[in-house]
Structure 1
Amino acid sequence: MDLILETERLIMREMRHDDAEALFEMDKNPNVHIYLWQKPFTNIDEIHNYIDMVRNQYKTNGIGRFCTIIKETNELIGWTGIKFINDHVENGNTNFYDYGYRLNEVFWNKGFATEASKAWLDHGFNQMKIDKMNAYTHAENGASNHILEKVGMKFMENYPDEEGVIWKWWQMNNPNK
């Protein structure tokens, strides 16, 4: 993909296989997965499979999760971005745009998730002309729930997944429509 988003401190660009080490460093951390089904990655091959899946989403849907990098240091801090969900049903929905992010723990509480979220929502609404953006978070993930609220997403409802874990469903309509 040719798309690159920039903010004051961040660059967001397509995910590549040479990002695997940094992504594995993030995804093998159990703290990163506390609110993500408690299944940290145990093998770098899992990351390569994930990168293949994301790159396929770029081709199929024209969008997907992007590596997020600090401009000043060139450190990959995780991924952020818009994904078109058409491979499963979430809270009774499919074929919808989802905003999401995952950051390496050492980069938490520095405002990066908020900064990236604002850029992606702007891109989604103004460039992609998305009518409605959705997101879902573990009900107990206070930090992510706070960030989504702060960037203007509206809490819609709690819902249980197949295992009875409670999630929060968020939504934001395109402010230009």
Structure 2
Amino acid sequence: MKFHIETQRLILRELRNSDLNGMFELDSNPEVHRYLGNKPVKTIEGSQAILNNVFKQYKERGIGRFAAIEKSSGNFIGWSGIRLNTEYNMNGYTTYYDVGYRLIPKYWGKGYATESSKATVKYAFNVLKLPELYATTEIGNQASHNALLKIGLHYVEDFYFEQEQLHIRWYELKNNSYG
């Protein structure tokens, strides 16, 4: 899958094997996983498995998370994008598109999650013509909650995600109410 979106400060493109070290920096950081069940990867092979899963999603579903690259430095700062979930039941949904992001901590607080996710939502509705998007965040993650509201998603409800034993907030945005 080839993918390329530019925002004012970012390039969003398909993840590549060359992003492996950046993915390991991201997903081995305990602070990144603070609201994700506290399960950071321990080895570079763990990050390769994550990349391989995204490559499989590209091939089988035609969509998956995108690398987020800072234009000014050319650095991999994390990922953002859309994913078609079919792996597990989330709040009663077994097949749905979600918007998400995960950034290396030194890039937090710069508005990159909001900037990349706004571009992702625009792509989802204007190019992919999806009828709706969903998102989740752990209840205590106020920064993520704020970012999801800034990109236009609407908070729906809280629920308990049994599989990961987390209290989660559920968000949605319908295409016909976008814009």
SS of 1:48 mapped into structure 2 = helix
Say if 1:97 and 1:134, in contact at 8 Å, map to a contact too: yes
Identity level (%): 41
Deviations 1:14-41 (A, max 9, x none): 1111111111011111000000110111
- Please tell me the residue identity of whatever aligns with 1:174: N
Superposition map of 1:154-169 within 5 A = 154-162=154-162, 164-169=165-170
Work out the CA distance in 2 between the residues paired with 1:138 and 1:120: 21
- Please tell me the residue identity of whatever aligns with 1:102: R
SS of 2:59 mapped into structure 1 = helix
SS of 2:34 mapped into structure 1 = coil
Could you say which residue in structure 2 is the equivalent of 1:79?
79
Superposition map of 1:8-23 within 5 A = 8-23=8-23
Give the ranges of 4+ consecutive aligned residues of structure 1 lying more than 2 Å apart after TM superposition.
none
Superposition map of 1:87-126 within 5 A = 87-126=87-126
Aligned-pair RMSD on alpha carbons? 1.2
Could you say which residue in structure 1 is the equivalent of 2:129?
129
Shift of the 171–76 alpha-carbon distance from structure 1 to 2, 3 Å rule, reads: same
- Deviates most, 20-29 or 106-115: 20-29
Work out the CA distance in 1 between the residues paired with 2:97 and 2:146: 20
How far does residue 145 in structure 1 lie from its aligned partner after superposition? 0.3
Could you say which residue in structure 1 is the equivalent of 2:172?
171
Work out the CA distance in 1 between the residues paired with 2:92 and 2:165: 15
Deviations 1:65-123 (A, max 9, x none): 01100111100000000000011111110111000110000000001001001000000
Say if 2:86 and 2:94, in contact at 8 Å, map to a contact too: yes
SS of 1:29 mapped into structure 2 = coil
Work out the CA distance in 2 between the residues paired with 1:27 and 1:103: 9
SS of 1:121 mapped into structure 2 = helix
- Please tell me the residue identity of whatever aligns with 1:34: R
Deviations 1:133-168 (A, max 9, x none): 000110110000000011110000000011542100
Instruction: Please list every run of 5 or more consecutive structure 1 residues that lacks an aligned counterpart in the other structure.
Output: none
Shift of the 169–176 alpha-carbon distance from structure 1 to 2, 3 Å rule, reads: closer
Work out the CA distance in 1 between the residues paired with 2:48 and 2:167: 30
SS of 1:102 mapped into structure 2 = strand
How far does residue 175 in structure 1 lie from its aligned partner after superposition? 3.5
Say if 2:37 and 2:166, in contact at 8 Å, map to a contact too: no
TM-score (norm 1): 0.97
Work out the CA distance in 1 between the residues paired with 2:107 and 2:94: 31
Could you say which residue in structure 2 is the equivalent of 1:30?
30
Work out the CA distance in 1 between the residues paired with 2:177 and 2:31: 38
Could you say which residue in structure 2 is the equivalent of 1:69?
69
Could you say which residue in structure 1 is the equivalent of 2:143?
143
Work out the CA distance in 2 between the residues paired with 1:29 and 1:19: 16
Equivalent residues, number: 177
SS of 1:114 mapped into structure 2 = helix
